[in-house]
């Protein structure tokens, strides 16, 4: 156990020196901070010895649990060789092995692996590749992008530019290049007032209008396949992704799929695009790539895109992009071990009964007075809380309803993080049904307690 004085010191220093992401620090410093000391499997333990289920997968990236022996060993083994060397010039063994492995598990034709270190950079890279691809082909006017409302692709200037969450992006609008936002297929609050059982994917019509009118100027469309995560866990109706791909092909626009969250099993298949047999031009992956161990991201491009960057040294076709920790050997060694675990432990196959179990259990939430919508995509679920179920009236922002539910859950040993008034369920993929039950019981009771106050 940690010494009491040291614990107090940590709390003081946390408030004095740390600026937490996406956190109103004025509120944060009024509370006792939760400081994690260690983890094991799906559990995390704080400095006071209290244990929590990691229901947020340490920001949606943990797959095989914490302190997984195989991944730990792979990192330690690599550490005995070298921790970091650059890919700017030389190569390294784990980066090569992993690139080959990723090309093997990717949909056909996606063979060129470009490393970076987080989801935002993977998407920045994708935008730059798409933009330059057209330039290299002699098409100079394709300088714009299409993205979805409520879409989220990261926090760098470039990725905020293609982001559709006003709360995060609006302050920076003056810095942006031209992006067309198409309506999101947010069925619970359909922008066209339709019902998803009879709408015939009306939202694709508007997307088609946008693509058609701007085809000459649009380099690529970027979207999160099947589920728009940070925008509210908006699950797409069946056929939407396939429809987008057909439209992009029709109007000669590249398709970039941001699988930063959906990659590596979250949706029930290795990659979300496999659900609709869609093969995009570029895929970005990060979070689950090495089981959620360390910063690593990949932008995977089709050979055709890569080939346009080939040319004489003096032709300036080089892709002028690279980060210091690109292809870091420790991160790549962890990723190789994680992918091996998928194969050895049949992670994808074992997900099916868990996904069904989650589906059944979620039905019990329907009766709660303030649960407006329940959405699920694989082992991801979201519960949208509303002030009034009949009118779908949202809770006012100031009520911090999601935060209050999550604080209540924390008291009972569950760590989750809301998206505004939406409660997110995103456990590590190795969670067992009994643990899922415990997690859902805590969420159910926390919603009841907080919304009945």
Contact footprint for ligand PLP (CB under 6 A)? 118-120, 123, 152-154, 224, 229-230, 258, 260-261, 286
Q: Indicate the residue among 152 and 342 with the shorter CB distance to ligand PLP.
A: 152
Q: Indicate the residue among 230 and 425 with the shorter CB distance to ligand PLP.
A: 230
**Least separation in angstroms between CB 249 and ligand PLP:** 23
Return the structure tokens found at 367. 């009766």
**Least separation in angstroms between CB 310 and ligand PLP:** 29
Q: What's the number of CA atoms in the CB half-sphere (13 Å) around residue 301?
A: 23
Q: Indicate the residue among 102 and 260 with the shorter CB distance to ligand PLP.
A: 260
Q: Indicate the residue among 261 and 443 with the shorter CB distance to ligand PLP.
A: 261
Return the structure tokens found at 35. 């400081």
Rounded to an integer, what distance in angstroms lies between the CA atom of residue 304 and that of residue 74? Answer: 34
Rounded to an integer, what distance in angstroms lies between the CA atom of residue 58 and that of residue 78? Answer: 24
Burial of 123 (0-12, 13-18, 19+ CB in 10 A): buried
Q: Indicate the residue among 258 and 373 with the shorter CB distance to ligand PLP.
A: 258
DSSP-derived pairing of the beta strands 51-54 and 234-235 = unpaired
Rounded to an integer, what distance in angstroms lies between the CA atom of residue 30 and that of residue 47? Answer: 19
**Least separation in angstroms between CB 47 and ligand PLP:** 25
Residues in the chain: 453
Other CB atoms within a 10 A radius of the CB of residue 294 amount to 19
Give the torsion through C-alpha atoms of 430, 434, 435, 437, to 10 deg. Answer: 120
**Least separation in angstroms between CB 140 and ligand PLP:** 29
Q: Indicate the residue among 61 and 362 with the shorter CB distance to ligand PLP.
A: 61
User: What is the crossing angle of helices 329-344 and 69-79, to 10°?
Assistant: 150
Cα separations in angstroms, 353 against 261, 349, 379, 433 = 21, 9, 10, 9
Q: Residue 297: which H helix or E strand, with range?
A: strand 297-302
**Least separation in angstroms between CB 159 and ligand PLP:** 7
Rounded to an integer, what distance in angstroms lies between the CA atom of residue 185 and that of residue 201? Answer: 8
Q: Indicate the residue among 134 and 152 with the shorter CB distance to ligand PLP.
A: 152
**Least separation in angstroms between CB 389 and ligand PLP:** 28
Return the structure tokens found at 384. 């949208």
**Least separation in angstroms between CB 35 and ligand PLP:** 21
Q: What is the distance, to the nearest Å, from the Cα of residue 52 to the centroid of all Cα atoms in its chain? A: 22
**Least separation in angstroms between CB 171 and ligand PLP:** 18
Q: What is the distance, to the nearest Å, from the Cα of residue 1 to the centroid of all Cα atoms in its chain? A: 35
**Least separation in angstroms between CB 172 and ligand PLP:** 16
Q: Identify the CA nearest to 148 among candidates 179, 172, 192.
A: 179
Q: Indicate the residue among 78 and 118 with the shorter CB distance to ligand PLP.
A: 118
Other CB atoms within a 10 A radius of the CB of residue 118 amount to 19
Q: Indicate the residue among 268 and 371 with the shorter CB distance to ligand PLP.
A: 268
Measured at CB, which residue is nearest to ligand PLP? 119
């Amino acid at each position: 156990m940690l010494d009491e004085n040291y614990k107090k010191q940590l709390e003081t220093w946390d408030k004095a020196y740390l600026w937490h992401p996406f956190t109103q620090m004025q509120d944060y410093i009024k509370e006792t901070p939760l400081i994690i000391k260690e983890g094991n499997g799906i559990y995390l333990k704080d400095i006071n010895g209290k244990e929590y289920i990691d229901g947020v997968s340490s920001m949606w990236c943990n797959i095989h649990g914490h302190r997984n022996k195989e991944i730990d060993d792979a990192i330690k083994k690599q550490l005995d060789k070298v921790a970091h060397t650059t890919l700017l010039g030389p190569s390294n063994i784990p980066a090569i092995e992993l690139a080959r492995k990723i090309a093997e598990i990717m949909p056909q034709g996606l063979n060129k692996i470009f490393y970076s270190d987080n989801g935002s950079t993977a998407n920045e890279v994708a935008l730059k590749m798409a933009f330059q691809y057209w330039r290299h082909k002699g098409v100079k006017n394709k300088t714009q992008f299409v993205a979805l409302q409520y879409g989220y692709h990261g926090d760098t200037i470039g990725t905020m530019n293609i982001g559709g969450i006003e709360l995060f992006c609006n302050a920076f609008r003056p810095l942006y290049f031209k992006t067309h936002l198409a309506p999101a297929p947010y069925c619970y609050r359909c922008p066209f007032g339709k019902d998803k059982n009879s709408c015939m994917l009306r939202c694709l019509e508007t997307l088609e209008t946008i693509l058609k009118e701007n085809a000459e100027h649009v380099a690529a469309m970027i979207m999160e396949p099947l589920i728009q995560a940070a925008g509210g866990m908006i699950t797409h109706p069946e056929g939407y992704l396939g429809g987008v791909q057909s439209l992009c092909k029709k109007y000669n626009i590249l398709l970039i799929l941001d699988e930063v969250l959906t990659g590596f099993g979250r949706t029930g298949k290795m990659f979300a695009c496999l659900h609709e047999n869609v093969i995009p031009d570029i895929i970005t992956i990060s979070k689950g790539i090495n089981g959620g161990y360390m910063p690593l991201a990949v932008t995977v491009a089709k050979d055709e895109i890569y080939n346009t960057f080939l040319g004489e040294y003096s032709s300036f076709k080089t892709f002028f992009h690279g980060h210091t920790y690109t292809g870091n050997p420790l991160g790549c060694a962890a990723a190789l071990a994680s992918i091996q675990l998928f194969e050895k432990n049949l992670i994808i196959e074992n997900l099916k009964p868990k996904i069904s179990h989650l589906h059944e259990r979620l039905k019990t939430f329907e009766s709660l007075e303030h649960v407006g919508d329940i959405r699920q995509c694989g082992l991801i679920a979201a519960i949208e809380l509303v002030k009034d179920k009949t009118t779908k009236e949202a809770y006012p922002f100031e009520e911090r309803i999601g935060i209050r539910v999550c604080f209540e859950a924390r008291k009972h040993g569950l760590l989750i993080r809301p998206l505004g008034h939406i409660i997110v369920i995103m456990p590590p993929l190795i969670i067992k049904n009994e643990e899922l039950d415990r997690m859902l019981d805590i969420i159910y009771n926390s919603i009841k307690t907080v919304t009945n106050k």
